[in-house]
Amino acid sequence: MTEPSAPRITTETIPADLRARLVAWRRDFHRHAETAWTEFRTTAAIVTELKRLGWSTVMGPELHDAGARLGVPAVEVLSHARARAIEQGADPGLVEAMGEGFTGVLGILETGRPGPVVCFRFDIDANDLVELRDASHRPFAEGFASVNDGAMHGCGHDGHAAMGLGLATVLADLRDSLTGTVKIIFQPAEEGVRGAHSIVAAGWFDDVDVFVATHLKSDDDRGSILTGADGYLASTKFDVAFSGVGAHAGGDPEKGRNALLAAASASLALHAIPRHSEGASRVNVGVLSAGEGRNVVPRAAVIKVETRGETSAIDEYMVARAMDAVAGAARMYGVDHEVTVVGRADQATPSPQLQPFIGECFAGVEGVTEIGVSGGLGGSEDATAMMNRVIERGGLATYVQIGMDTSWGHHTERFDVDEDMLALGAAAETRIALGAAEFLAGLERR
């Protein structure tokens, strides 16, 4: 007779002291917010904890295919961030091991028993935001607002990282009840959809049988779950640098080659890329910066662009047309141009067979109020790169959304996390790890 595995663990089994640690971890990450590819202190803290719990870890250059990293900041930015991390208590040896921004860590728990590879994704980077310093904002009122200039956890990744550590703690505890292998990827640089590709390219998802990414969502019903959130758009982020020739605008206007006008024309043409009949598309030139002085023909200009598509094919269409637009604009004004892709997210379709199982795992957990399947917000996500790799290799993958009724939008200076959701997520995902083997066996029998 088989004891059903999932019911054994519920949020009740997450003891009060772990709940307190979930909150403490989240607040520590929040206070020391680190933006994409500079998560030195955050990564070091997670590595230290994982090792303490007995997980093996993969980090630094081993974790990434170096050539596939996107949108890595300048070396001075990295170097400043490393110094700050150490100053804020990070283990210098671990920081050193992360070198030029090889942040993030993969925790691996091998049971030694046959069974599937189950993988969970939590992202850990902060946003380029200045946090509100006002008593009405709880992180400020309670003393854990970000101390790092221009960095703030405004999307809940502080909570994700804490939830991942909570899950690692429970699973370490339940190690004897598990089979196969559990992986937890603490992904860097999700903002700007930059961090997933190089980890996927390094092969760490090639053996995954069940993959679950998790995201908290504000302005929703508290405890409402989507087991297969799919509202994410494929997206490409790129910069274009136009290089022309400066000249005195009064004395020699004909000697200049005007990079500002090239960037202006490109911006108009980019926004005029035709809509696609097969689904939603987007384009935005978010930043244009050109010229040095009022009386000089502008020699240099930069635009920061993103495209999106309801499908990857639509996003590829947008990018192809965008490349024409920027190349043509450069040609028009006799200037050079260079395109640098700094982020990319594909569309991904959550595996439908996986949904009922995920739903059951959440259904048994305290605080869960409602379980839906698809839908969700219209941003972009690079966990899709992981999902697609898993699905291509024959595995199942999904993206879980956990609703919070906090009223401040993502990516705002007032964003905050409902900390009760951290235990909820850790508990439900523990059930996924425990029940995956049986669920997969059941699928095969059909």
Q: Which residues bind its own copies (CB under 8 A)?
A: 128, 192, 233, 235, 237, 248-254, 256, 258, 260-261, 263-269, 271-272, 274-278, 280-282, 284-298, 301, 304-306, 308, 317, 321, 324-325, 327-334, 377-380, 411
Those residues with Cβ within 8 angstroms of residue 354's Cβ, 6 or more apart along the chain or in another chain: 210, 227, 228, 396, 397, 398
Measured from the CB atom, the residue of 32 and 321 that comes closer to its own copies is 321
Q: Give min distance, CB of 350 to its own copies, in A.
A: 19
Q: Give min distance, CB of 231 to its own copies, in A.
A: 10
Measured from the CB atom, the residue of 310 and 429 that comes closer to its own copies is 310
Q: Give min distance, CB of 119 to its own copies, in A.
A: 27
Q: Give min distance, CB of 401 to its own copies, in A.
A: 15
Measured from the CB atom, the residue of 115 and 244 that comes closer to its own copies is 244
Measured from the CB atom, the residue of 9 and 264 that comes closer to its own copies is 264
Q: Give min distance, CB of 194 to its own copies, in A.
A: 11
| Three-state DSSP string of 40-99 | HHHHHHHHHHHHHHCCEEEEHHHHCCHHHCCCCCCHHHHHHHHHHHHHCCCCHHHHHHCC
**Is there a contact between 262 and 332 (Cβ–Cβ < 8 Å)?**
yes
**Alpha helices per DSSP H over 148-306:** 157-173, 196-201, 259-271
**Is there a contact between 253 and 333 (Cβ–Cβ < 8 Å)?**
no
- Rounded to whole angstroms, how far apart are CA atoms 82 and 95? 7
With b for 16 or more beta-carbon neighbours within 10 A and e for fewer, the 259-291 pattern comes to bbbbbbbbbebbeebeebeeeebbbebeebebb
Q: Give min distance, CB of 310 to its own copies, in A.
A: 11
Measured from the CB atom, the residue of 294 and 445 that comes closer to its own copies is 294
Q: Give min distance, CB of 289 to its own copies, in A.
A: 5
Measured from the CB atom, the residue of 92 and 253 that comes closer to its own copies is 253
Pairing of strands 117-123, 210-217: parallel
Alpha carbon 279 to its chain centroid, in Å, reads 24
Cα–Cα–Cα angle for 299, 305, 309, rounded to 5 degrees:
155
Within the chain, how many helices (H) and strands (E) appear?
Answer: 12, 12
Q: Give min distance, CB of 333 to its own copies, in A.
A: 7
Measured from the CB atom, the residue of 213 and 329 that comes closer to its own copies is 329
Measured from the CB atom, the residue of 127 and 169 that comes closer to its own copies is 127
**Is there a contact between 121 and 348 (Cβ–Cβ < 8 Å)?**
no
The DSSP output letter for 275 is P
- Rounded to whole angstroms, how far apart are CA atoms 9 and 362? 11
Alpha carbon 238 to its chain centroid, in Å, reads 17
- Orientation of helix 420-445 relative to helix 16-31, angle to 10°: 110
Measured from the CB atom, the residue of 213 and 297 that comes closer to its own copies is 297
Q: Give min distance, CB of 380 to its own copies, in A.
A: 7
Pairing of strands 300-309, 234-243: antiparallel
**Is there a contact between 93 and 59 (Cβ–Cβ < 8 Å)?**
no
Measured from the CB atom, the residue of 279 and 359 that comes closer to its own copies is 279
Measured from the CB atom, the residue of 125 and 209 that comes closer to its own copies is 125
Pairing of strands 300-309, 105-110: unpaired
Q: Give min distance, CB of 303 to its own copies, in A.
A: 9
Q: Give min distance, CB of 241 to its own copies, in A.
A: 14
